[in-house]
Structures are given as structure tokens and as C-alpha cells.
Chain A
Amino acid sequence: DARVTQTPRHKVTEMGQEVTMRCQPILGHNTVFWYRQTMMQGLELLAYFRNRAPLDDSGMPKDRFSAEMPDATLATLKIQPSEPRDSAVYFCASGLVGVYGYTFGSGTRLTVV
């Protein structure tokens, strides 16, 4: 089965450090999402790409977060500088709109101390 690959699976970092999370979407999928999940907030949308173009990043704190898709096989989410409130699980998902559901990666569990 095709899968969405996220790296790293776990990351512990000190406050103020830069964090980069990577996602390899499934080949042929034209839509990529980044979500953050916490117990309190559930799944929050951070960024959304269609055919590699960013369509919506209104859920992302712009001063510290950035999301890019340098090519069809890689999506990145960067936090600089990181803060303890950024501690969460970050998920990437890819799919084809309206055809089927979306496939999620296993997530990156980020802890900022």
C-alpha cells in the first residue's frame, strides 16, 4: 500500500531552536495538508497545497511557521523559533480531492522544552 512518509517521528528540542518536519506525499496526489493535533484543540489545519501551490495557510502563526513544497515529492513545515506551546503531533496528509479520502502520515511528535 502507498503511504505518506513523515520524518522525524519524534523530535525534542529546546525553546528557540529551529525545527523542520518533512513529508513525502503519495505520488500522483495533488493535494497536501499539514495539521497539528493536541488533546485540547483536535486537528487544526496549518497549511494546504494544491498542485504544489499554497492555497490556505491562515491557520498558521505566520511569524514563526512556514510551509513549502519545493517539489512534488516533498513538503516541509518549519518552525523558527520554536516555543513550548508548539508541542503537539504534526500530521501531513495527501490525496486527490473528491476521489477518495486523504492518506495521513504517522505524524511527528514535537516536544519543545
Chain B
Amino acid sequence: SQKIEQNSEALNIQEGKTATLTCNYTNYSPAYLQWYRQDPGRGPVFLLLIRENEKEKRKERLKVTFDTTLKQSLFHITASQPADSATYLCALDGGNTPLVFGKGTRLSVIA
């Protein structure tokens, strides 16, 4: 069955450093991979989408890579700030199959 693993439940990082979150998957061939941010008590908010034929995508301080051979995506936040503290969710979209989520990584950026 499909499996999505996000490398750790929680990650603590010093302000100003780069946070790197990992998403690995098995038994799946996603057409798209997405990253979302979720704050306590709120719904997930879409951040970035990367297609299977793309290697890298950037948006401001965010960067996503997608390696379909390794079945892995890396999500980077550069120059991290306390306001970046949240849970980050990886999601796989098969195009004609539903969007499935990993359990998320809780990021804490310490000032």
C-alpha cells in the first residue's frame, strides 16, 4: 500500500538557519507533490506544487526538490524565522487519484 513518511515528527532549528524537511514515499507514482503549512486550530495552507518532470521549485525563502528515482522530496526554508514555526505536510497527488498526506513535521524556530 502507499506510504508517505516525513523524516521526523519534530524539528528544532535556530533562527536564521536553513530548515530542511524530508518526505519519502513508496508504492506511488505521483504526478504532483505538494507542501502545505498548518498552524494549530487551522486548516492546511498550500505552499508549493512541483510536477514529476520538475527537479526544483522556489518561492521566496522556500525551495522544494523532487527526485522521482529516490522517491523523495526535500523542503527547505532559508533564513528561518520564529514565524515559520508550524507543522509542514507533504502531499502526493496522482492526478486521477486523491491527494494523500504524510503525518507532518512540526518545525520550531528558536530565536
Interface centre among A91, A101, A103 (most CB of B within 10 A): A101
CB-nearest residue of chain A relative to B51?
Answer: A98
| B 73-111 binary contact with A (CB < 8 Å = 1; else 0) | 000000000000000010001011111111110000000
B44-74, CB < 8 A from A: 44-49, 51
Q: Which one of B43, B96, B100 lies within 8 Å of A45 (CB-CB)?
A: B100
Interface centre among A42, A103, A105 (most CB of B within 10 A): A42
Q: Which one of A97, A100, A101 lies within 8 Å of B36 (CB-CB)?
A: A101
Residue A102, interface by CB 8 Å: yes
Verify B43–A101 contact, CB threshold 8 A: no
Complexed CA–CA distance, A45 and B102 (Å): 11
Verify A97–B43 contact, CB threshold 8 A: no
Verify A98–B97 contact, CB threshold 8 A: no
Given the known interface contacts A42-B102, A43-B89, A101-B49, the answer about A106 and B95 at a Cβ–Cβ threshold of 8 Å is: no
Verify B36–A56 contact, CB threshold 8 A: no
Interface centre among A48, A98, A100 (most CB of B within 10 A): A98
Residue A27, interface by CB 8 Å: no
Give the total of A residues in contact with B, Cβ under 8 Å: 20
Q: Which one of A56, A91, A100, A101 lies within 8 Å of B98 (CB-CB)?
A: A56
Residue B31, interface by CB 8 Å: yes
Verify A102–B99 contact, CB threshold 8 A: yes
Chain A residues lying within 8 Å of B45, measured Cβ to Cβ, are 104
Min C-beta distance of B64 to chain A, whole Å: 12
Complexed CA–CA distance, A33 and B36 (Å): 15
Verify A97–B100 contact, CB threshold 8 A: no
- On A, residues with C-beta under 8 Å from B are 33, 35, 42-43, 45, 48, 55-56, 91, 93, 97-98, 100-107
Besides the contacts A33-B98, A42-B102, what 9 more A-B pairs have beta carbons closer than 8 Å? A33-B99, A56-B97, A93-B43, A97-B96, A98-B31, A98-B93, A101-B34, A101-B48, A106-B42
